[in-house]
């Protein structure tokens, strides 16, 4: 069965500092991996996804993530945090054995300090 | 594109009342998902449809919950009778059929059952 863990339910960084949000998954087959962002009182918005090909994936708002099969990880990074990055971030996994059923991680709340 | 449309955005009702949440998916998408989000349980998949047919309803908490998709452009999630523990934000999402296609989320319906 698929599962997703996100280390740290709450991460705080200073404005301009590196953002690193961790995601590890379990899947019996090569997975498809997604990062979503949720701003307060809004729905989830796709940041980026990995399906096949290049393992370093670039997304919107300067975020990127790297798929590391050996570590079963898909960590999200951004070189320099902005105040507007404060939000909840969700990692999700799917694979063709489970149809379109996404499994979402528990989420990580990112705070950006001035 | 208008995106996924949900109504109402907010609903306050009393215990025992029937509640109906509505969703219009993105035109052309053939898969639709209903999620529930709470602080305690995070984001939970309730049910998903493919080509208007329910594929997986294992996440529906109990018989008080029912979902329909009478056509490709409309779905409802009904709770009857509602209970205070049903208070949550309910999201609808749609996608093109495939496990590697991202889901597009609506803005959600915040339900409060008194």
* Percentage of residues in chain B having pLDDT higher than 90: 79
In degrees and rounded to multiples of 5, residue A27 shows phi and psi of -160, 145
How high is the mean pLDDT of chain A? 91
pLDDT in tens, B4-42: 999 999 999 999 999 999 999 999 999 999 999 998 888
Interval A14-22 mean pLDDT: 97
Residues of chain A numbered 13-42 and touching chain B (CB < 8 Å)? 32, 34, 36, 42
Nearest in space to A3 (alpha carbons), one of A86, A99, A104: A104
Half-sphere exposure of A10 (CA within 13 A, CB side): 2
Tokens at B39, concatenated: 């602080």
Selected residue with higher pLDDT from B96 and A15: A15
The DSSP result for A53-101, as a single string, is S-SEEE-GGG-EEEEETTTTEEEEEESS--GGG-EEEEEEEE-GGGTT-
- Position B80 scores a pLDDT of 97
- Position A96 scores a pLDDT of 66
* Percentage of residues in chain A having pLDDT higher than 90: 75
Strands A103-104 and B42-50: unpaired
- Position A107 scores a pLDDT of 95
Nearest CB neighbour to A101, from listed B43, B56, B91: B56
* Percentage of residues in chain A having pLDDT higher than 70: 96
pLDDT in tens, B58-90: 889 889 999 999 999 999 999 999 999 999 999
- Position A31 scores a pLDDT of 85
Nearest CB neighbour to A94, from listed B93, B99, B108: B99
Q: pLDDT band for A37, please (50, 70, 90 cuts).
A: very high
Interval A41-47 mean pLDDT: 93
Distance CA A20, CA A76 (A): 6
To probe the interface with A, which of B100, B105, B110 has the most A CB atoms within 10 Å?
B100
pLDDT in tens, A52-107: 888 999 999 999 999 999 999 999 999 999 999 999 999 999 876 556 678 899 99
Distance CA B103, CA B111 (A): 22
Q: pLDDT band for B47, please (50, 70, 90 cuts).
A: very high
Nearest in space to A41 (alpha carbons), one of A104, A88, A108: A88
Distance CA B78, CA B20 (A): 4
Residue A49 near chain B (CB below 8 Å): yes
Residues of chain A numbered 58-87 and touching chain B (CB < 8 Å)? none
Tokens at A19, concatenated: 């953002």
């Amino acid at each position: 069965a698929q599962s997703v863990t996100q280390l740290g339910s709450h991460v705080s960084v200073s404005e301009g500092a590196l953002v690193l949000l961790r995601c590890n998954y379990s899947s019996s087959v090569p997975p498809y991996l997604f990062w979503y962002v949720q701003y307060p009182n809004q729905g989830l918005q796709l940041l980026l996804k990995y399906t096949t090909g290049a393992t370093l994936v670039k997304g919107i708002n300067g975020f990127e993530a790297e798929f590391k099969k050996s570590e079963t990880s898909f960590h999200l990074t951004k070189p320099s945090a902005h105040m507007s990055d404060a939000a909840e971030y969700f990692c999700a996994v799917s694979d063709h054995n489970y149809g379109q059923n996404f499994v979402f991680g528990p989420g990580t709340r990112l705070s950006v300090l001035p | 594109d208008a995106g996924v449309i949900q109504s109402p955005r907010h609903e306050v009702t009393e215990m025992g009342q029937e509640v109906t949440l509505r969703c219009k998916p993105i035109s052309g998408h053939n898969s639709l998902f209903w999620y529930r989000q709470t602080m305690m349980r995070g984001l939970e998949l309730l049910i998903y449809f493919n080509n208007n047919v329910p594929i997986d309803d294992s996440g529906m908490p109990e018989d008080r919950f029912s979902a329909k998709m009478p056509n490709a452009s409309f779905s409802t999630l009904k709770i009857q009778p509602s209970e205070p523990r049903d208070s949550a934000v309910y999201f609808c999402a749609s996608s093109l059929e495939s496990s590697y296609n991202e889901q597009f989320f609506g803005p959600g319906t915040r339900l409060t059952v008194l």
